Structures are given as structure tokens and as C-alpha cells.
Amino acid sequence: MMDRLLTVDEAAEQLGTTSRFPRRLIAERRIRFVRVGRHVRIPASALSELIERGTVEPRRS
């Protein structure tokens, strides 16, 4: 099954940030992305992976 490809603005909306943040992630190669002609798209699963990598679990006492 093919992953949904998000625009930079859609990715930013899902992350709750401005479009500048996903553009920086792309420029720094910190997130997977797809070039479609001159357009850049971010697979929805790449956002999930980014969130999972950044998730910090609470300490257990």
C-alpha cells in the first residue's frame, strides 16, 4: 500500500509548527522525503517515525 504524501504545509500542520520547521528537517536530511518533479513531499509514515524517535518516556520510580 502506498503511503500518503503530504505537502510541507500539511506536514507542518500535523506537527503543529510553521512550514519552516519541516523545510529545515528536509534541508538537514533529518526526515525522509520524496521529490515529485520540482515539488517536495513527505510520506505520512516519515512523520510518524520522526515523532516516535523524539518521544521521551517518563521515568519509572
60 within domain boundaries: no
36 within domain boundaries: yes
| pLDDT reading at 7 higher than 80 | yes
| Residue 33 vs residues 17, 57, 58, 59, 60: alpha-carbon distances, Å | 18, 27, 30, 33, 36
Q: Indicate the pLDDT class of residue 2, thresholds 50, 70 and 90.
A: confident
Show the cell assigned to 33. 522525503
> How many other CB atoms are there within 10 angstroms of residue 19's CB atom?
15
59 within domain boundaries: no
45 within domain boundaries: yes
In the chain, the number of structural domains is 1
Phi, psi of 11 (to 5 degrees): -65, -45
Q: Which domain holds residue 9?
A: 5-54
9 within domain boundaries: yes
pTM of the predicted structure, to 2 decimals: 0.87
The half-sphere exposure of 44 on its side-chain side, counting CA atoms within 13 A, is: 6
